[in-house]
């Protein structure tokens, strides 16, 4: 049992445990927030998960929640539980950079819909987490503000683009975080840090106020250390929004109920499809081993394991790297020095725009803008963007056929455990390959989860287990994820993150 | 520019060449809010006061389509005889410019809402011309740059200011097919076409169509090609290189820009020089055009479907409902009304130009005689509107008011002068004409005893008038009429006063 007077133990509790403890009166929100702020101060120097720490406002929110709770007022489930927000979401009054120097110092005049929902849920916002610039990357090395380090091994990447959010969870700096997933930016960081991350169905969470990378692929989602915590946060974030024309006009899935059901009742009658194309060659041995072990657990829980084939997935990476840069090249045009952000003054507006973008954007961003601009150009459109959209349709058909045979599909989240910082910095293709298993879900708009599968025996680093469900069936992820998590945690004797080496604490 | 000083006259140009033209008209819709956000769509406010994260293109913001704008666009498409696409998409047109907040314009590209239409245009002499419509698509307007210092152009300016109030205002762009075979009537047809579009958007009530305020703007494409030899098919001759004169903001300028461009191009061609395919700017002061961007520097807009918006998918039922709301074709309506009202061509044209047709029609429907209705709207009210720099429909007076006012005149309760005072009261918000007449006490005095007393008073101070009248100078009675009107503050029945004076002088009226 958690000793709520011990700040270290406090930061190692789950979000739902924190919420329960506050309701029971054993801890206050101010104590929770303070414990996490202290932890950030102690370890974030070497980890560098945060770009901005919002201490004052977080404590004020916490104090207000505590005061309301004292009066017996009804409060939302996660009221008072601290949260970190990826710097891709605009937050009124807090700097928002999307990891780019071009937005350094910009204070958004408005809140993203999800930011507003977090505030309405009375959750103290600890700060903004680091990310690859404009979410372009799988390592957080491409942040304009320096890389984030993986708490499991500070020389390794925490995944990307949401490496700040995943590292902050693994480093016990926050119990909850928000991420965005365009090709795996929630799931792959979760995999390589031993945490949980969910990409909801496209349209399930409003994108309004999320700085766009690729509009047809981007989706915001919850990150935590347990499946149930991600479920609870998913319910806070989800729902229709009139400000986002692509948001789904349907009720938020009952994620928490599904997670509890899965943990309590096992998986009898559930058919689970292993995607043949997402495994085998190119996948690290320890990753394959942990994945197989996960399948054994699922079988033991009563699920039937079948193999499915998705032959078009071999084109997914290529299609993705045409669609994403194309949309990004247009989405990033607005960073032109005229209304906000960096301005490098020259004698004409064209030169000022050019100089600002040359100085403000990093190499990976420029690489993708150039790719996308080329792919959309007259004469190339049909061959590139047009063909990529056709591949997208094929991938959707593959998924539709696979979901005829299985309730959910599973695969390793990433082919390898985290690579070393700097190892692939000059080899973008090698970095892109890390997303090979996560990208198909974005191309099809379906929901996906990554949860810890254990550590690879050869390097002792975390491995992620990916679950994919049909569109609108996000609840299935939580049911199956929670059942598997329960079995694994029983095997490990605690959450995977607790097996990570202790970080050195700054004096 | 070398040939610009040796312009060929329009008529000569048209004799020497066969003109082909096409027009793009941009119509700003009068929806309450902008195309993709909730900002108010009004004109003339302080710069950057009607803006939000969406129309400023702030990071993270997203567009949401204004349903009312879609409705207006579909009604316009239907009025132009277009087919309406069951599913049409918005697309991004990418280019960098400071007045374009997102550095892309949300427009429609390969899937416009309305396509393949035909519009009947009636020329002044009654000739009917059919103009083919290629497409009518929705898009958002850009903001407005103001160049400070220098002469107002971007050249020589010290800096530029951007006002995003207009950014995101809904537009429909109507594109004609190439219009051939109009010869020397090209300029006239172009003008009549734009005038017809203006009349249609007004009749639909989707825009005030005020060109001088940029609510309706025309880009005119013109090219000349050699005349076909006798017996040859003119349409087999390939089109010449075209110029596109942008942002023309009056009907007169539509006509005159074609005159200028035809002359300029003809001069080049006759001198054996090529016409450059380019956009050109129209200058009202000199009635000429100057080169803008060269179109040969291939325009590369990198169009692709707007991923932030769902396709527009109007149901068949809705389209038919909207079709049922379409007004009569303006030319046909005008012909019918002119007949019914007995107006002259000139009276009709003036009423159309003043945007008074609907007002007159409604006034007639409320019981006034057509000429009386015309007289009020085109006289007193047109003057008032002009003084206040507003349009007739903007005046705080309704056709019902005018019909009531005229009824009071017809019934002899008030005379013209009192009626004008009553109207003044109505415009000042004092109520209906009858209420103003009652509250201001404007009713005509036609009670003989009161009038006789007033006449006698006036005669007492000018007794010589009676003698003059008796000598045959009947017009001398005017002085007494004037005095009586003054004494009764205009409320006397002037005709009756005159009769009384003549009776006093013993003369027959």
pLDDT, one tens digit per residue, over A113-142 is 999 999 999 999 999 999 999 999 999 999
Instruction: Compute the mean pLDDT over every residue in chain A, rounded to the nearest whole number.
Output: 96
Q: Which residue of B has its CA nearest to A243?
A: B64
Identity of the highest mean pLDDT range in A342-346, B9-13, B209-213: A342-346
Is the CB of A377 less than 8 angstroms away from the CB of B300? yes
**Please, which pLDDT band fits residue B509 given cuts at 50, 70 and 90?**
low
3-state secondary structure A91-125: ECCECCCCCCHHHCCCCCCCCCHHHHHHHHCCCCE
CA nearest to A98 within chain B: B59
Please, which pLDDT band fits residue A312 given cuts at 50, 70 and 90? Answer: very high
The mean pLDDT value for A439-444 works out to 98
Query: Quick check: B5 pLDDT over 70?
Result: no
The verdict on ipTM greater than 0.90 is yes
> For residues A428 and A364, is the Cβ–Cβ distance under 8 A?
yes
Q: A14, A29, A86, A143: which one is catalytic? A: A86
How many angstroms separate the CA of residue A10 from the nearest CA in chain B?
34
Contact A245 B309 (CB under 8 A): yes
| B103-146 pLDDT, tens digit each | 999 999 999 999 999 999 999 888 999 999 999 999 999 999 99
The answer on pLDDT for B24 being more than 80 is yes
B1 pLDDT more than 50: no
Which residues 6+ apart lie within 8 Å of B463 measured at CB? none
Domain ranges, residue A45: 7-314+390-497
State the DSSP code for A436: T
Q: How many Cα atoms are found within 13 Å in the side-chain-facing hemisphere of A353? A: 15
Into how many domains does chain A fold? Answer: 1
Q: What angle do CA B403, B407, B411 make, to 5 degrees?
A: 175
d(CA A304, CA A298): 8
Average predicted confidence (pLDDT) for chain B: 90
* Residue entry with tokens 């063909």: A387
Kindly state the tokens that stand for A173.
Answer: 């700096």
Contact flag A333-B103 (C-beta cutoff 8 Å): yes
pLDDT of residue B490: 78
Hey, what are B363's tokens?
């006034």
Where helices occur in B24-115 by DSSP H, the ranges are 67-79
Residue A368 covered by a domain: no
At CB < 8 Å, which residues of chain A contact B? 89-90, 96, 98, 103, 106, 108-110, 112, 207-212, 214-216, 242-246, 326-327, 329-330, 333-336, 338-340, 349-350, 353, 373, 376-378, 381, 385
Distance from CA of B59 to the nearest CA of A (A): 5
Task: Give the number of A-B residue pairs with CB atoms closer than 8 Å.
Answer: 100
Q: Which candidate from A89, A98, A340 shows the least CB-CB separation from B58? A: A340
Query: Are the Cβ atoms of B308 and A89 closer than 8 angstroms?
Result: no
> Between the CA of residue B362 and those of B44, B188, B407, B434, what are the distances in Å?
29, 31, 15, 19
**In 3D, which of A164, A96, A173 has the Cα closest to residue A506?**
A173
Rounded to a whole number, what is the distance in Å from the CA of A255 to chain B's nearest CA? 26
DSSP character for B404?
A: H
Q: What is the predicted pLDDT for the residue at B295?
A: 55
What CA–CA distances, in Å, run from A105 to A129, A467, B287? 15, 38, 49
Asked which of A124-133, A426-435, A454-463, B260-269 is least confident by mean pLDDT, the reply is: A426-435
Of B58, B64, B101, which has the smallest distance from its Cβ to A242's Cβ?
A: B64
Residues B27, B32, B35, B38, Cα dihedral to 10°: 160
* Cα–Cα distance, A346 to A491 (Å, whole number): 63
- Chain B neighbors of A115, CB-CB under 8 A: none
Q: Which of A161, A247, A312, A411 is catalytic?
A: A161
Q: Could you write out the DSSP letters of every residue in B306-350?
A: -TTSPPB---HHHHHHHHTTPPPPHHHHHHHHHHHHT--HHHHHH
CB contact under 8 A, A214 and B307: yes
For the record, the structure tokens of B16 come out as 């020497």
What are the φ and ψ backbone dihedral angles of B20, each rounded to 5 degrees? -130, 135
Predicted confidence band of residue B297 (pLDDT cuts 50, 70, 90): low
Query: How confident is the model over B372-397, as pLDDT tens digits?
Result: 999 999 999 999 999 988 888 889 99
Catalytic site residue from A14, A139, A185, A206: A185
Residues of B in contact with A350 (CB under 8 A): 96
CB contact under 8 A, B307 and A381: no
From the list A12, A42, A6, the residue with the least C-alpha distance to A27 is A6
Instruction: Name, in order, each residue with C-beta under 8 angstroms of A132's C-beta and a sequence gap of 6 or more.
Output: A99, A138, A139, A140, A141, A142, A143, A160, A161, A163, A185, A364
For residue B425 the two structure tokens come to 């009261």
pLDDT for the residue numbered A433: 85
B90 interaction partners in chain A (CB closer than 8 Å): none
Token pair 């907040």 in the structure block, residue: B101
pLDDT, position A412: 98
Closest residue of chain B to A109, computed from CA coordinates:
B53
A161 included as an active-site residue: yes
The minimum CA-CA distance between B300 and chain A, rounded to whole Å, is 7
Domain residue spans in chain B? 2-319, 328-440, 448-505
pLDDT band (50, 70, 90) for residue A247: very high
Question: Which pLDDT score is estimated for B211?
Answer: 93
The whole-angstrom distance between B163's CA and the closest CA on chain A is: 11
- Per-residue pLDDT tens over the stretch B65-84: 999 999 999 999 999 999 99
What are the φ/ψ torsions at residue A336 (nearest 5 degrees)?
Answer: -120, 10
Mutation for testing the B interface, residue in A336, A358, A369, A373 having most B CBs under 10 Å: A336
Looking at CA atoms only, how far is residue A245 from chain B in angstroms? Answer: 6
On the 0-12 / 13-18 / 19+ scale of CB atoms within 10 A, B18 is buried
Which chain B residues are closer than 8 Å to A207 by Cβ? 62
A211 and B60 in contact by Cβ < 8 A?
A: yes
Burial group, residue A414, by CB count within 10 angstroms (0-12, 13-18, 19+): buried
Q: Which pLDDT band holds residue B2 (cuts at 50, 70, 90)?
A: very low
Asked if residue A406 has pLDDT above 50, the reply is yes
pLDDT band at B3, cuts 50/70/90? Answer: very low
Tell me if B173 sits within 8 A of B105, measured CB to CB. no
- Residues of chain A above pLDDT 70, percent: 100
Give chain A positions within 8 Å (CB) of B59. 90, 96, 98, 103, 106, 108, 211, 334-335, 340
In eight-state DSSP terms, residue A345 is: -
Query: Which range (A83-97, A480-494, B430-444) has the least confidence?
Result: B430-444
Query: How close A127 gets to chain B, by Cα (Å)?
Result: 18
Contact A206, A238 (CB under 8 A): no
Give the pLDDT band of residue B475 (cuts 50, 70, 90).
confident
Instruction: Name which of B425, B301, B12 is nearest A381 in CA terms.
Output: B301
| Residues β-bridged to residue B280 | B245, B291
Q: With CB atoms and an 8 Å threshold, state whether B304 touches A385.
A: yes
> Does residue B476 register a pLDDT over 70?
yes
Shortest CA distance to A196 belongs to which of A173, A175, A220? Answer: A175
Percent of chain A at pLDDT above 90?
93
DSSP B443-507: --B--HHHHHHHHHHHHHH-THHHHHHHTT-GGGHHHHHHHHHHHTTT-B-HHHHHHHHHHHHT-
Mean pLDDT of B256-277: 94
CB contact under 8 A, A215 and B307: yes
Residue A417 burial (CB count, 10 A): 24
**Residue B104 dihedral angles phi and psi, to the nearest 5°:** -145, 150
Mean pLDDT across A376-388: 91
| pLDDT value of position B499 | 85
For residues B196-223, give the mean pLDDT: 94
Cis amide leading into A161 (omega within 30): yes
Residue B398 buriedness (CB in 10 A; 0-12 / 13-18 / 19+): middle
What's A204's domain CATH number? 3.90.1300.10
Confidence grade of residue B149 (pLDDT, cut at 50, 70, 90): confident
Q: For the domain bounded by B448-505, which CATH number is listed?
A: 1.10.10
Q: Quick one: pLDDT at residue A425? A: 84
CB atoms within 10 A of CB A56: 8
């Amino acid at each position: 049992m958690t000793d709520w007077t011990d700040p270290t133990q406090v930061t190692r509790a789950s979000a739902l445990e924190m919420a329960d403890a506050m309701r029971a009166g054993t801890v206050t929100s101010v104590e929770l927030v303070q414990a996490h702020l202290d932890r950030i101060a102690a370890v974030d120097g070497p980890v560098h998960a945060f770009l901005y720490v919002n201490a004052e406002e977080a404590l004020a929110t916490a104090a207000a929640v505590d005061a309301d709770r004292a009066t017996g007022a009804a409060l939302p489930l996660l009221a008072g539980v601290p949260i970190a927000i990826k710097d891709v979401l605009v937050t009124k009054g807090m700097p928002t950079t999307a990891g780019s120097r071009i937005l350094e110092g910009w204070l958004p005049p408005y809140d993203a819909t999800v930011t507003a929902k977090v505030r309405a849920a009375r959750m103290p916002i600890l700060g903004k987490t680091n990310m690859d610039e404009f979410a372009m990357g799988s390592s957080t090395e491409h942040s304009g503000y320096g890389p984030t380090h993986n708490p499991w091994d500070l020389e390794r990447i925490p995944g990307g683009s949401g490496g700040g959010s995943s590292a902050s969870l693994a480093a016990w700096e926050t119990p909850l975080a928000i991420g965005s997933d365009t090709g795996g930016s929630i799931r792959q960081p979760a995999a390589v840090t031993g945490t949980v991350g969910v990409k909801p169905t496209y349209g399930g969470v409003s994108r309004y106020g999320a700085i766009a990378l690729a509009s047809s692929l981007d989706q915001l989602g919850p990150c935590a250390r347990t499946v149930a915590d991600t479920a609870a946060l998913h319910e806070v974030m989800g729902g229709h929004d009139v400000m986002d024309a692509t948001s789904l006009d349907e009720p938020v899935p009952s994620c928490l109920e599904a997670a509890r059901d899965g943990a309590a009742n096992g998986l009898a009658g559930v058919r689970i499809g292993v995607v043949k194309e997402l495994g085998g060659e190119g996948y690290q041995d320890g990753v394959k081993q942990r994945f197989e072990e996960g399948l054994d657990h699922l079988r033991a829980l009563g699920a039937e394991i079948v193999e499915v084939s998705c032959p078009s997935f071999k084109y997914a990476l290529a299609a993705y790297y045409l669609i994403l840069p194309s949309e990004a090249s247009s989405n990033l045009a607005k960073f032109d020095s005229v209304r906000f952000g960096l301005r490098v003054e020259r004698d004409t507006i064209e030169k000022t725009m050019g100089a600002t973008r040359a100085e403000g954007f990093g190499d990976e961003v420029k690489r993708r803008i150039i790719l996308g601009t080329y792919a959309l150009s007259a004469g190339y459109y049909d061959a590139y963007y047009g063909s990529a959209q056709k591949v997208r349709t094929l991938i959707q058909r593959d998924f539709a056929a696979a979901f005829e045979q299985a309730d959910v599909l599973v695969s390793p989240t990433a082919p390898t455990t985290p690579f070393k910082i700097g190892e692939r910095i000059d080899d973008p293709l090698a970095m892109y390959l890390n997303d090979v298993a996560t990208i198909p879900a974005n191309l099809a708009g379906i929901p996906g989860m990554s949860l810890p599968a254990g550590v690879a025996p050869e390097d002792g680093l975390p491995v992620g287990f990916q679950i994919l469900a049909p569109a609108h069936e996000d609840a299935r992820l939580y049911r199956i994820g929670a059942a598997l998590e329960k079995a694994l945690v029983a095997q490990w004797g605690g959450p995977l993150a607790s097996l990570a080496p202790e970080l050195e604490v700054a004096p | 520019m070398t040939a610009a000083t040796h312009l060929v006259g329009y008529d000569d140009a048209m004799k020497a060449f066969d003109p082909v033209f096409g027009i793009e008209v941009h119509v700003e819709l009068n929806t309450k809010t902008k195309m993709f956000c909730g900002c108010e769509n009004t004109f003339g406010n302080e710069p950057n006061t009607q803006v939000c994260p969406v129309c400023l293109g702030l990071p993270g913001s997203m567009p949401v389509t204004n349903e009312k704008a879609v409705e207006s666009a579909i009604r316009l498409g239907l009025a132009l005889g277009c087919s309406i696409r069951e599913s049409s998409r918005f697309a991004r047109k990418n280019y960098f410019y400071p007045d374009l907040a997102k550095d892309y314009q949300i427009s429609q590209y390969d899937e416009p809402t309305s396509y393949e239409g035909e519009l009947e245009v009636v020329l002044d002499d009654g000739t009917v011309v059919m103009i083919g419509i290629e497409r009518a698509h929705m898009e958002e307007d850009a903001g407005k740059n103001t160049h400070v210092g220098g002469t107002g152009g971007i050249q020589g300016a010290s800096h530029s200011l951007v006002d995003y109030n207009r950014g995101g205002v809904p537009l429909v762009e109507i594109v004609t097919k190439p219009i051939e075979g109009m010869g020397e009537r090209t300029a006239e047809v172009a003008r009549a076409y734009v005038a017809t579009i203006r009349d249609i958007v007004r009749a639909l009530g989707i825009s005030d169509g005020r060109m001088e305020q940029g609510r309706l703007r025309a880009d005119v494409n013109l090219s000349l090609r050699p005349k076909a030899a006798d017996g040859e098919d003119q349409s087999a001759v390939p089109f010449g290189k075209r110029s596109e004169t942008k942002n023309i903001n009056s009907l007169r300028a539509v006509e005159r820009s074609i005159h200028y461009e035809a002359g300029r191009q003809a001069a080049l061609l006759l001198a054996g020089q090529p016409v450059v395919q380019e956009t050109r700017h129209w200058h009202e002061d000199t009635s000429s055009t100057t080169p803008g961007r060269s179109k040969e520097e291939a325009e590369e807009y990198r169009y692709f479907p707007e991923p932030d918006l769902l396709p527009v998918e109007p149901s068949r039922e809705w389209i038919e409902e909207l079709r049922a709301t379409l007004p009569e074709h303006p030319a046909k309506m005008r012909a019918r009304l002119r007949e019914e009202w007995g107006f002259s061509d000139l009276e009709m044209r003036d009423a159309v130009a003043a945007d008074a047709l609907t007002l007159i029609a409604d006034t007639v429907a409320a019981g006034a005689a057509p000429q009386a209705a015309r007289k009020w709207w085109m006289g007193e009210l047109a003057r008032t509107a002009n003084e206040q720099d507003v349009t007739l429909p903007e005046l705080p007076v309704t056709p019902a008011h005018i019909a009531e006012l005229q009824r009071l005149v017809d019934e002899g309760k008030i005379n013209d002068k009192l009626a004008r005072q009553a109207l003044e009261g109505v415009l000042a918000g004092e109520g209906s004409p009858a209420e103003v007449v009652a509250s201001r006490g404007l009713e005509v005095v036609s009670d003989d005893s009161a009038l006789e007393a007033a006449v006698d008073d006036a005669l007492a101070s000018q007794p010589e008038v009676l003698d003059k009248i008796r000598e045959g100078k009947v017009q001398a009675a005017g002085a007494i009429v004037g005095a009586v009107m003054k004494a009764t503050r205009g409320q006397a029945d002037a005709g009756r006063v005159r009769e009384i004076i003549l009776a006093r002088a013993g003369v027959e009226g």
